[in-house]
């Protein structure tokens, strides 16, 4: 019988994502609902090692549900990758009598949580927070929906100037090594081509497709390129290659960058984060550990962290087909 949970620690780790604050709020308030203590740990695992902590209450998370970023801040922490660092972290866990940990982050953060649990026995629950949506065990990660809408808005704006100048734009989007943001925003923004790491269409096929678009009367085009795409060395090299082979086309590049991580979370992300925060605390109370909360067919599910980390979030092949047909 696992020891009853009386005090939960919560932290955010890895790249921030819109909706993380809604998840923090849900963890803090659900803990209070079940008369558990909740301790915030600032700046991810580094803050745990440095004992950067604060006791929370329902009022501590007022007015954050609509805020982008993470009020607990985040940091990438090399020290936590060492046993020495994890021992220091566990000393802080013991000092504050923390019985369990909720980690809001991506697969890198979950890897650390899993090792920490194995070494020190502290129950951990993962909440998937990353705009990449590249985590196995959930159809949606917190921040993904907001990022899609941020990117769509940016591409719509870029399309205005592409049309005005009969230009071909290459727009690079985030996703580290997953093409989910690129594929969905490419279809949603009506891009002529979408380059994702899960597929390698090659530069010649890209040229053929752009020439076909132009022959069919398109005077401007948008190509969405995932940052992890392998077609060329990078988006600038791809653009240069096309410019050389289609000299009559004015080509420009727009790298959207970290703006995709910011902004007020969408309603979808706020609701998703709230549900996941409640599920995480209730799972800990039910004696669960080493699992990640996920969404599947509108239900909350639990996936072992080992599977969430190793698994791959499959690209939607049907969506690639839709994109090929509609970019005619
Ligand atoms: O994992 C989220 C993410 O935004 C990726 O899409 C991107 O490649 C990476 O983080 C950027 O990392 P950093 O914030 O350290 O520059």
Q: 7-143+265-310 domain in CATH 3.40.720.10?
A: no
Do the two domains 7-143+265-310 and 145-261 of this chain adopt the same fold?
A: yes
| pLDDT surpasses 60 at 1 | no
Q: Is the C-beta atom of 112 inside 6 A of ligand 1?
A: no
What local confidence, expressed as pLDDT, does residue 198 receive?
Answer: 94
Ligand 1 nearest atom to the CA of residue 176, by list position? 8
Strand stretches in 182-322, DSSP E = 193-195, 221-226, 250-255, 291-296, 299-304
Name which of 108, 31, 103, 28 is nearest 64 in CA terms: 28
The residue count of the chain comes to: 328
Backbone angles phi, psi at 13, to 5 degrees: -145, 155
Q: Is the C-beta atom of 131 inside 6 A of ligand 1?
A: yes
Name the residue of 13, 14, 15, 255 whose CB sits within 8 Å of the most ligand 1 atoms, as the mutation to test its pocket: 15
Residue ranges per domain, the chain?
7-143+265-310, 145-261
Q: pLDDT of 264-318, one tens digit each?
A: 999 999 999 999 999 999 999 999 999 999 999 999 999 999 999 998 889 999 9
What local confidence, expressed as pLDDT, does residue 2 receive?
Answer: 63
Q: What is the 3-state secondary structure (H, E, C) of 188-227?
A: HCCCCEEECCCCCCCHHHHHHHHHHHHHCCCCCEEEEEEC
User: For residue 289, what are the contacts with CB-CB under 8 A and spacing of at least 6?
Assistant: 2, 100, 117, 123, 124, 125
Name which of 294, 141, 132 is nearest 198 in CA terms: 132
Q: What is the CATH number of domain 145-261?
A: 3.40.50.460
Q: pLDDT of 16-25, one tens digit each?
A: 999 999 999 9
> How much is the average pLDDT of 62-82?
96
Tokens for 121, please give them.
């026995």
What local confidence, expressed as pLDDT, does residue 312 receive?
Answer: 86
């Amino acid at each position: 019988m696992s020891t009853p949970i009386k005090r939960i620690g919560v932290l955010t780790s890895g790249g921030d994502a819109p909706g993380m604050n809604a998840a923090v709020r849900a963890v803090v308030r659900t803990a209070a609902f079940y008369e558990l203590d909740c301790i915030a740990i600032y700046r991810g695992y580094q803050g745990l090692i440095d004992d950067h902590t604060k006791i929370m209450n329902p009022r501590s998370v007022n007015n954050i549900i609509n805020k982008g970023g993470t009020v607990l801040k985040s940091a990438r922490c090399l020290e936590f990758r060492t046993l020495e660092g994890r021992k220091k972290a566990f000393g802080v866990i013991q000092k504050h009598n923390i019985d369990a940990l909720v980690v809001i982050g991506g697969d890198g953060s979950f890897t650390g949580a899993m090792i920490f649990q194995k070494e020190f026995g502290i129950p951990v629950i993962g909440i998937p927070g990353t705009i990449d949506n590249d985590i196995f065990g959930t159809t949606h990660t917190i921040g993904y929906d907001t990022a899609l809408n941020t990117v769509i808005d940016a591409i719509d704006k870029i399309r205005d100037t592409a049309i005005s100048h009969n230009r071909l734009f290459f727009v690079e989007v985030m996703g580290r090594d997953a093409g989910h943001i690129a594929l969905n925003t490419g279809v949603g923004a009506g891009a002529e081509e979408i380059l994702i790491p899960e597929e390698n269409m090659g530069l010649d096929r890209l040229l053929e497709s752009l020439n076909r678009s132009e022959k069919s009367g398109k005077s401007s085009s948008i190509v969405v390129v995932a940052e992890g795409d392998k077609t060329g060395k990078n988006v600038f090299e791809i653009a240069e290659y096309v410019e050389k082979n289609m000299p009559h086309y004015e080509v420009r590049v727009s790298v959207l960058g970290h703006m995709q991580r910011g902004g007020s979370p969408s309603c979808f992300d706020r609701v998703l984060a709230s549900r996941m925060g409640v599920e995480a605390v209730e799972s800990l109370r039910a004696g669960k550990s080493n699992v990640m909360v996920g969404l599947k067919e509108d239900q909350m599910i639990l996936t072992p962290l080992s599977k969430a980390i190793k698994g791959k979030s499959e690209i939607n092949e049907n969506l690639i087909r839709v994109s090929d047909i509609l970019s005619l």
